[in-house]
Amino acid sequence: MVYRSPKDRRRASLTPVTSGRRRANDLKGKSQSLCILREIMAALPLHPLSGAATGQYFVSDDGSVKVAALVMNKDIFPKVRSDLEEYKWNDSDFLLATFSKNGTHFMWEAMMMLLKGSADYIQGSKALLMIDTSPVSLGIKPFPSPRVLNTHYRTDVLPAEYRKAKTVVVMRNPKDTCVSFYYHYKSMLNPIENITFAQFVELFLHEKNIFFGRYFDYIEYMWSLKDEPNILLVFYEDLKMNPLNTIQKVNEFMGTNRSPELVKEIAEAVNFEKMKLGKTTLPLSKESMEMLKSMEYTSTPSSSSSSSSEMYQDEDDCSTGYGLQNIALQTG
């Protein structure tokens, strides 16, 4: 006699009608969940920089992927888009690709230091080389090649010129990304002060129309590129916990061949507290200031001091527990 577990016996005793009802109930439950989710999403405040508000998107070559563009300045954005589409890539340059709040500032500074062969902080603004918000033709002027251009877009929606670049991709824990992006989303980009963290989590998990697209779609695609010869994938947590080894990997990938002594100096320089202090006290170059003003950035410094304090104020909030403590206060 063949032994059958109680679970198998129960399953065998189900009639086709019973099984059909169970499947129908499962589908009904999923449908109700989707309806509830749609109601939640519809009730959320519309961010003025979302794709639904601006109507601006970047689309993959085959049209299968559409990502909402970040329109920081509607008067400048046409120039941002046209420059991005017309730019001819310089093979001595590098691309840094990260989702928002995934360590862009840290890695950009380290890569630029490797290129310059010095652990001195870069006298210029990363914003000028951010192809998402700055016209490339203007932004590259204060930074002669070799240089590091940077983007928060997944590379399949960028022109083919950028996809052939040697690219460093940085990824960060989704929980920490969500907390850090929440503060960035509601306070630094056309403030939406009344959005709660619980509401933002729904956006973060489900909303594809958010600028730069959904985090998990971004990670899924960029992860698929990890074995490509022109891609180096590193993790934000490794950059923070083991900067020496991480920056050495970048050094080897870029072919800069800097000495172990310099790599160590750079690793120490991009320490969160040191970098925050160093960059906020470093005056921007005259040319960088002129470029920022010409692009009418709302965050342009009013004096010769860099405004990097805003850039670095929450890069480390999750690692120190700051972000999660504040969220606990909001959500109980």
Q: Could you read off the pLDDT of 149-167 as tens digits, one per residue?
A: 999 999 999 999 999 999 9
Mean pLDDT of 308-326: 39
Poorest-confidence range of 170-179, 295-304, 316-325? 316-325
Check whether 13 has a pLDDT greater than 60. Answer: no
What is the pLDDT at residue 309?
40
Poorest-confidence range of 31-45, 60-74, 148-162, 168-182? 31-45
* DSSP state, residue 87: P
The closest alpha carbon to 223, from 267, 269, 161, 171, belongs to 171
- Mean of the per-residue pLDDT values of the chain: 78
**Residue 100 to residues 19, 52, 154, 227, Cα–Cα distance (Å):** 46, 19, 11, 23
**Residue 294 to residues 125, 126, 128, 135, 287, Cα–Cα distance (Å):** 14, 16, 11, 11, 10
**Residue 196 to residues 40, 86, 216, 328, Cα–Cα distance (Å):** 12, 40, 21, 12
Q: Could you read off the pLDDT of 198-217 as tens digits, one per residue?
A: 888 888 898 888 889 999 99
Q: Which domains does the chain have, with CATH numbers?
A: 46-331 (3.40.50.300)
What is the pLDDT at residue 203?
84
**Distance in angstroms (rounded) separating the CA atoms of residues 229 and 127:** 27
Percentage above 70 pLDDT, the chain: 66
**Distance in angstroms (rounded) separating the CA atoms of residues 170 and 110:** 13
Do 291 and 247 form a contact (C-beta atoms < 8 A)?
no
Check whether 295 has a pLDDT greater than 80. Answer: no
Mean pLDDT of 73-100: 94
Which pTM does this prediction carry? 0.76
Tokens of 145: 């090649």
